[in-house]
Structure 1
């Protein structure tokens, strides 16, 4: 799964990588993004690729209940995304790319979870395969744009830490993912040498802590220095 990640890049970095449409703007770096908060999402529009703020946790257009009753939809499983009612319509026509600087996974048992940070070996941004939706909140008379990250089986290297991981897209596949007729073949793990990993502070274990703090992704070499698990 992918339950926490980072978006800490400059406009120049993400614009060059994703070939974005629109004038440059300041982007707020974030180091502990949790579900239901607002994230940067790339979607394809008539004029090109646009970076749009969306809720992390997809709300299908047909949802009739209050938002608080929505089940967890911040991840969609690659194996079933084309068939599950929550995601199948978006998979057909509303695919997106969610840029990231890295993501977190945990090892160890409950009460002593140790967080690991994963990013590209070359330091460039990551491109998560995602889906987006537009939902009308009748209670608030507002339109909510939302997105989910697609996750699949881990590659051999990642299985040392977790059995699943985000689907990561290569630039050569961006157009096919965003507008191709059937991008199912892209729902595969990256090569084993694509990512790097290091240990970080257990402060990241608590959602809402340190989202603006770049030290959240600092490497920690001594597990005993983590302090109590939060």
Structure 2
């Protein structure tokens, strides 16, 4: 389960990366504030749209408009069942997105408090998590909320946790955003073998706590015994 992730890159840096490696997108310099710990219920930038992709700010925690129990928003969806579960299947068919990130945290072990590890691309590259979104209120763009798809761990994550976000190579972003493709055509992306090589290290408890400062302190290497 991915319950906290990082997106440390500034809008102008992402704008330049997308122009060079994917597609040019108009991103204002104040589109978001870089963060070392994005948590459920917070708003974060995602890519939406296929023919004309754009940045949207959405709330993390998917909550369909028909759900009466408002406290049951889902931050993750299992890739293996996302196309079947009533909570997710419409969004999976009609409104997929790419959650922009450059790292994520996972806990390890069974003993509380569970130590956390931070994972990032070995080259500190921009990541795109496979996501889906919906609206908590019909025809209300401001009510958009998203969930991150998770899958079996790659070998780089397996020693720490039994799940990880579905990380899409940039070359496949347009395929994921193409709503003309049915969910079965996307199952290739759920294989952990296609995930980029990741590096990781143990981190202090700063990332766990909303009360702690949001900054480099969250991903400092924390000296502890092995996992």
With the length of structure 2 as denominator, give the TM-score of the two structures: 0.86
Return closer, same or farther for 1:100/1:143 CA change in 2, 3 Å cut-off.
closer
Q: 1:144 to 1:123 in 2, by over 3 A?
A: same
4+ aligned runs moved over 6 Å, structure 1: none
SS in 1 for 2:14: helix
- Higher helix proportion (structure 1 or 2): 2
Offset at 1:202? 1.6
Q: Which residue of 2 aligns with 1:209?
A: 211
The structure richer in strand per residue is 1
- Alpha-carbon contact 1:41-1:98 (below 8 Å) kept: yes
Change (3 A) 1:25 1:114: same
What whole-Å deviation, never above 9, does each CA across 1:34-70 have from its counterpart, x for those lacking one? Answer: 1111111110165x2111111101112332x2523xx
Query: In the TM superposition, what are the counterparts of 1:53-202 in structure 2 within 5 Å?
Result: 53-63=57-67, 65=68, 67-68=70-71, 71-136=72-137, 143-179=142-178, 180-182=180-182, 183-191=186-194, 194-202=197-205
Gaps of 5+ in 2: none
Report the alpha carbon displacement of residue 79 of structure 1 after superposing the two structures with TM: 0.5
1:11 aligns with 2:11: yes
Give the aligned partner of residue 227 of structure 1: none
1:76–1:124 Cα change, 3 Å:
same
CA contact (8 A) 1:20 1:49 kept: no
Q: Is the 8 A contact 2:50 2:177 kept in 1?
A: no
Aligned residues: 216
Greater mean deviation of Cα atoms: 120-129 or 210-219: 210-219
Q: TM-score, normalised by structure 1?
A: 0.85
| 1:21 Cα deviation after fit | 2.5
Tell me the alpha carbon deviations over residues 89-116 of structure 1, each in whole angstroms, 9 at most, x when there is no partner. Answer: 0111100000101000112333232110
Flag the 1:122–1:11 CA change in 2: closer, same or farther, 3 A: same
Distance 1:193 1:96 in 2: 19
User: Are residues 158 and 45 of structure 1, via their aligned partners in 2, closer, same or farther at CA, if it must alter by over 3 Å?
Assistant: closer
Cα distance 1:143–1:203, how it changes in 2: closer, same or farther (>3 A)? closer
Q: Report Cα offsets for 1:142-186 as digits up to 9, x if no partner.
A: 951100000011122321111110000011111110005132222
Asked whether the 8 Å contact 1:76–1:151 carries over to 2, the reply is: yes
Point out the more displaced range, 141-150 or 173-182. Answer: 141-150
CA contact (8 A) 2:156 2:197 kept: no
Alpha carbons 2:3, 2:39 under 8 Å: kept:
yes
Measured on the aligned residues, the alpha-carbon RMSD in Å equals 2.3
Q: Closer, same or farther in 2 for the Cα pair 1:98/1:142, shift >3 Å?
A: closer
